């Protein structure tokens, strides 16, 4: 199976994937603190978790990832998953790795799997529609920063 749980030794690759995704989205100045990210993912009280995707037959390579945390729906009275970032390196796309990552998330919860998508990303919208995922009408996401 090309999807596995990330381990401490993956921290550098996880940060590299996040930075590559930022460049792909035309944000060229994102540089993450590797030690800080390692603490958030693998410290005594992890705040998020990551699934790693490898190309078929190449478990030594990291092709992409899903960066997640748990959430909880009061109305459904069950935990779900917040997918903060999903990224497959361009050279590894079209091999079903995004679908593998999302299927692995779906298997981890009977609750919601939710994420945001940047407006205008028609390729992603088509991919998510193939999975049966739907946009949530009538909701606007807000962000309050310090």
Which CATH architecture does the domain made up of 3-131 adopt? Answer: 3-Layer(aba) Sandwich (3.40)
Task: Give the domain ranges of the chain.
Answer: 3-131
pLDDT at res. 62: 96
- Model pLDDT for residues 53-79, shown as the tens digit of each residue: 999 889 889 999 999 999 999 999 999
Distance CA 103, CA 27 (A): 28
- Residues 114-127 have a mean pLDDT of 89
* Both structure tokens of 69: 């945390």
pLDDT at res. 97: 96
* Both structure tokens of 13: 């690759």
Give the predicted TM-score (pTM) of the model: 0.91
3-state secondary structure of 51: strand
- Model pLDDT for residues 14-65, shown as the tens digit of each residue: 999 999 999 998 999 999 999 999 999 999 999 999 999 999 889 889 999 9
The residues annotated as belonging to the active site are 128
Distance CA 85, CA 102 (A): 11
Distance CA 134, CA 43 (A): 34
pLDDT at res. 1: 57
């Amino acid at each position: 199976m090309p999807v596995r749980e990330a381990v401490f030794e993956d921290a550098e690759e996880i940060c590299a994937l996040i930075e590559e995704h930022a460049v792909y989205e035309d944000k060229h100045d994102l540089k993450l603190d590797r030690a800080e990210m390692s603490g958030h993912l693998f410290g005594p009280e992890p705040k998020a978790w990551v699934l790693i995707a490898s190309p078929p037959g190449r478990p030594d390579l990291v092709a992409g990832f899903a960066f997640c945390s748990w959430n909880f729906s009061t109305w459904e009275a069950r935990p779900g998953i917040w997918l903060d970032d999903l990224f497959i390196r361009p050279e590894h796309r079209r091999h079903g790795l995004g679908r593998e990552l999302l299927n692995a998330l779906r298997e981890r919860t009977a609750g919601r799997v939710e994420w945001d998508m940047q407006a205008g990303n028609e390729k992603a919208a088509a991919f998510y529609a193939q999975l049966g995922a739907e946009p949530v009408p009538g909701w606007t996401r807000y962000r309050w920063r310090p």
